[in-house]
Amino acid sequence: MDAVTGQILYQREPDLLLPPASTTKIVTAIVALESDRRGRDLLSVTKTATRVPSSKLFLRPGQAMTVEDLLYALLLSSANDASLVLAEGIAGTVDHFAEMMTNKAHEIGATNSHFANPHGLTAPEHYSTARDMALIFNYAMKNPTFREIVQTKTSSVSSIFTSGKTQKVRHIPIRNHNRLLWNFDGAIGGKTGYTHAAQRCFVGGVSRNGATLIVSILGSRDLWGDTRKLLEYGLQNYETLRAASTTSAASLADGHAGMWSEKTNAPLFSWEEEKKVRSLSGYILQIASFRERDRAESLQKWITEEGYQAFLEEVPLNNGETTYRVRVGPYPQLMNAQEAAREIESKSGFRAIILPASSASPSTEKPS
């Protein structure tokens, strides 16, 4: 998702209802930040909050923490007990807080989401979608406190136990679970999640070369691999994706043709979108982009055998690596390009990006 315009640049089953695991805590943080509680307000730990399964700070009944520290624990170390302390301290009950979460999500535009708790542990009426979580995170990043917290790599929080006139303070070191903060140029924050039912989840953002992108992944088995591939693809193809107004799926990220195809005869472009992509020099279809040349060649070979004029474009990246684009064409008329794109999507599951031939980057090798 383009964080500035809200335009979806690339998607696969964005509205599939799935358990969001601890990415739920993004919504928890929003509701807490927009409540009448201030950052230095102390909230008490109840027995209920201490009984929640890990991950957690292992708080004890009678302790107290500031709202600010609870938010840091929530968003960096994904502390489930911190989420319950916030929920009970702000709304009185977890059920009431969950209702506030759902209402807030719908207000943001995430209307396919329903939340039953503030931590994201699996529950029958607790679900969201990749699209909804992207919308929610993009909204949250407009809050300066939220933005500061999710960009923090390490910190410490304190729990306070008061007995008479004596106060015992426990300092707890915490570390952000978002690996991108350490190894991905331009990472600006995010929230991870995992349960057995949800598998691995991540919603986060990057900003590089004037582009700010939001990525939302639910149910991944290779979370950081999928996340990096999607973000690199979005950053490398940012201008062409915006110009084409095309939504592609994560088949690019794992390269399995046909697994997630969604056959359709609907027009690929609205009239307004057609005006943006119109070209006097013809059209090229970009089918997929791979880091591994053999995978790109395999797809190119298959498309050629199906009767299309497919070729590879080798593109050097700024980090010294190379990406291999599988392209088809050129086609003299937009209608011809659209027809070919539908046919290839129907057969392979890859949804092509239609580009003006003149905007296609020069190849560093001859078409093969």
Residues labelled as active-site residues: 22, 25, 78
H-helix or E-strand spanning residue 298: helix 293-305
What is the C-alpha separation between 113 and 128, in angstroms, rounded?
Answer: 4
| Cα 351 to Cα 192, 251, 314, 346, 348, distances in angstroms | 28, 9, 20, 9, 8
As a dihedral over the C-alpha atoms of residue 83, residue 89, residue 93, residue 95, rounded to 10 degrees, the angle is -40
Of 131, 231, 230, residue with least CA distance to 186: 231
H-helix or E-strand spanning residue 159: strand 154-163
Tokens of 344: 């290839």
Of 337, 319, 163, 165, residue with least CA distance to 246: 337
What is the C-alpha separation between 306 and 285, in angstroms, rounded?
Answer: 15
What is the C-alpha separation between 200 and 202, in angstroms, rounded?
Answer: 7
Answer whether 57's CB lies under 8 Å from 77's CB: yes
DSSP string of 299-324, one letter each residue = HHHHHHHTT--EEEEEEE-TTS-EEE
Of 15, 17, 42, 29, residue with least CA distance to 190: 29
Of 111, 118, 103, 110, residue with least CA distance to 137: 110
Cβ within 8 Å of residue 145, ≥6 positions away: 33, 39, 71
What is the C-alpha separation between 52 and 54, in angstroms, rounded?
Answer: 7
As a dihedral over the C-alpha atoms of residue 229, residue 232, residue 233, residue 237, rounded to 10 degrees, the angle is 180
What is the C-alpha separation between 195 and 119, in angstroms, rounded?
Answer: 11
